[in-house]
Amino acid sequence: MKDVAAHAGVSRATVSLVVRDSPQITAETKARVRQAMEGMGYVYDHRAAAMRADRTMTMGLVATDVRNPYFAELTMALQTRLQEAGFALITGYSLDDQEREARLLEVMVQRHVDGVFVIPSKTTTSDALNRWLLTSGTPHVLIVRPIQDHEADYVAADNLRAATLLGDHLAAEACETVAFLGGPPQSTVRSDRERGLTESLGAHGIEFDRALSIASTADRSGGVRALNQLLADSPLPDAIACYNDVVAFGVMEELRRHGFEPGPDVAVGSFDDLYEAELNQPPLTSVATYPARVGHEAARILIERLDDPDAAAEQVLISPRLSVRESTTTRRRATTSREIRS
């Protein structure tokens, strides 16, 4: 590193910042130093640096499934923020299976990552996390799903508020029967969204029928199955609130297969407000839950946790925003004397 610094005409500290891709160094200086490194065949020894600093400059992420666009955007934001701070990210996927999750946590701890981000499986317990993370002293941040009686940093969208926004909107659109489709049955996100819908509709004098709440996998096929179960057991409701946008896409496709038009025949609303929601036909009413913001906040907290391990745990809820589109505003309403209270 000393030789590279002399060759590039900079200090050794500058070379150190360049190899860590620090934003403090200008692009021109980075290019000059990297050219010198390449010309001299220099390769930065991360293991030696980790031994000196007592850090590996790596973080671990145990996620459930990257196929959901929400988690893909969250992961990219997380990695971007970590890279800016000089950290590499090791990622593994549990596929919502607790045993697979435990094996991934074991690998992360064995590789001495500086911290771990965990999007817990739907059956994860505090004891399961503590087995590897608490005993090894590895800092961690829970993302999206909280764990009961587990004290740790936590970042997620405010799902209760998100469901309240959607429930208020459906009530204002005179929807008197509302189904809630999709989402794993043991998911805390699902239970929060169902609770928010129940409370917001109740505030408008509308009783939420739990028989119209049908859990499923959080993907298109889950939406298809949930809708078919709904239609087999009940008349078509005024509105369908979907667990997320991906479920909603499956629900809307299946509605058309049954001869119903999403929007005019039944209002359809959802959560996450993915990019595709606005491009959908009809454009999908959805509550933005900002996965990129969740990822950036989680990265910030864990980086700060490394410097202050004894600080009180942070609980961060990202405020949602409702985007109203044609999927809930074009419904052909039956004549009714009922007045929705605002």
pLDDT, tens digit, 9 for 90 and up, residues 214-253: 999 999 999 999 999 999 999 999 999 999 999 999 999 9
Q: Are 229 and 301 contained in the same domain?
A: no
Determine phi and psi for 58, rounding to 5 degrees.
Answer: -130, 145
The verdict on residue 335 lying in a domain is no
Beta pairing class for 285-288 and 321-323: antiparallel
163 and 280 belong to one structural domain? yes
CB-CB contact of 4 with 19 (8 Å)? no
Position 2, amino acid:
K
Listing DSSP states for 181-241 in one string gives: E-S-TT-HHHHHHHHHHHHHHHHTT----GGGEE---SSHHHHHHHHHHHHHHS---SEEE
- The DSSP secondary structure of 232-247, one letter per residue, reads HHS---SEEEESSHHH
Q: Which of 285, 254, 283, 292 is nearest to 271 (CA)?
A: 285
Q: Domain residues for 194?
A: 159-289+323-329
Claim to verify: residue 296 and residue 151 sit in the same structural domain: yes
pLDDT at 38: 86
Residues 61 and 135 grouped into a single domain: yes
Question: 309 preceded by cis ω (within 30°)?
Answer: no
Whether 342 is covered by a domain: the verdict is no
Q: Is 178 in the same domain as 209?
A: yes
Tell me the residue type at 287. V
pLDDT in tens, 125-182: 999 999 889 888 999 999 999 998 898 999 999 999 999 999 999 999 999 999 999 9
**Same domain (yes/no): 101, 170:** no
b/e per residue 92-104 (b: at least 16 CB within 10 A): ebbebbeebbbeb
Q: What is the pTM of this model?
A: 0.81
Are 142 and 211 in a shared domain?
A: no
CA distance 142 to 154: 5
Instruction: Compute and round to an integer the Cα radius of gyration of the chain.
Output: 24
In a domain, 274, yes or no: yes
The CATH number given to whatever domain includes residue 171 is: 3.40.50.2300
Q: Do residues 25 and 119 both lie within one domain?
A: no
- Number of domains the chain contains: 3
Examine the domain organization and report whether 105 and 192 are in the same domain.
no
Give 288-324 pLDDT, tens digit per residue. 999 999 999 999 999 999 999 889 999 999 999 999 9
Report d(CA 180, CA 190) in Å as an integer.
10
